[in-house]
């Protein structure tokens, strides 16, 4: 990013009410001032500006405005209707991360509203929370054609926005839904059967991979493992750290 582009980004952030810009870790405290940007991920081409805002809700709104009607990767030419940013409580202790929007999500602009989403709502309710209590997002924000897997260039372009969502919300626990989200976040190719049910340190949160609800629709017997994972999530939410 050159100086002019940076100046343009910062002017835009100022218009959105962003109150300052700094890499000082002291800025990273929720409620006082809030960082949208992670440290750049090693090896990634993440060049988006570091911006700060007073609350998580403001930070998410600024990020959503910054993303705009995104044309940064090829998915905007491949039939997606709109960006599906994320939904829920900006102050959530629990965040779910899926793979990418499907057909219903692409139409409604909200993640996890189709059949898999209805099952996710039941999973959330099983630990005595409501959908509105948690935050739900995907690794990539636009629907891939025919719901194919996201491609590496699409993930590389889009995942910095998920990182900023995580850093804005600062959830205690992140549940990675399915192989794709777990492998993308943890930078591993280990199978989901090996990753699920374990707790990983992740950007200041605890990350628990579990099976994707769409997989559960095809393999209902795996609901037992997901219930075990959700009990683990519940105990992490109740713990001090």
Q: Which is nearer to ligand URA, 20 or 220 (CB)?
A: 220
Q: Which is nearer to ligand URA, 51 or 226 (CB)?
A: 226
Q: How far apart are CA 112 and CA 236, in angstroms?
A: 23
Q: How far apart are CA 1 and CA 3, in angstroms?
A: 7
Q: Which is nearer to ligand URA, 114 or 171 (CB)?
A: 114
Q: Which is nearer to ligand URA, 50 or 100 (CB)?
A: 100
Q: How far apart are CA 98 and CA 94, in angstroms?
A: 13
Length of the chain: 241
Q: Which residues in this chain contact ligand URA in the complex, by CB under 6 A?
A: 98-102, 105, 111-112, 116-117, 138, 214
Least distance (Å) between residue 187 CB and ligand URA: 18
Least distance (Å) between residue 98 CB and ligand URA: 3
Least distance (Å) between residue 179 CB and ligand URA: 11
3-state helix, strand, coil in the chain (%, to 5): 45, 10, 40
Least distance (Å) between residue 147 CB and ligand URA: 8
Q: Is there a contact between 24 and 143 (Cβ–Cβ < 8 Å)?
A: no
């Amino acid at each position: 990013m050159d100086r002019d582009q940076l100046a343009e980004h910062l002017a835009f952030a100022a218009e959105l009410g962003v109150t300052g810009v700094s890499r000082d870790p002291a800025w990273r405290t929720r409620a006082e001032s809030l960082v949208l940007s992670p440290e750049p991920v090693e090896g990634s081409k993440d060049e988006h500006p570091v911006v700060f805002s007073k609350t998580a809700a403001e930070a998410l709104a600024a990020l959503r405005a910054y993303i705009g009607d995104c044309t940064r990767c090829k998915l905007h030419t491949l039939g997606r209707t709109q960006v599906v940013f994320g939904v829920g409580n900006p102050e959530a202790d629990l965040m779910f991360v899926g793979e990418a929007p499907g057909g219903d999500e692409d139409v409604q602009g909200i993640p996890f509203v189709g059949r898999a989403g209805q099952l996710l709502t039941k999973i959330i309710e099983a630990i005595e929370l409501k959908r509105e209590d948690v935050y739900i997002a995907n690794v990539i924000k636009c629907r891939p054609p025919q719901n194919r897997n996201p491609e590496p260039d699409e993930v590389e372009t889009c995942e910095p926005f998920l990182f900023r969502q995580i850093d804005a919300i600062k959830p205690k626990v992140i549940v990675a839904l399915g192989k794709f989200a777990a492998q993308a976040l943890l930078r591993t190719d280990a199978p989901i059967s090996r990753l699920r049910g374990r707790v990983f340190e992740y950007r200041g949160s605890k990350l628990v991979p579990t099976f994707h609800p769409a997989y559960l629709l095809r393999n209902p017997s795996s609901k037992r493992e997901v219930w075990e994972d959700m009990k683990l999530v519940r105990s992490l939410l109740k713990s001090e750290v």
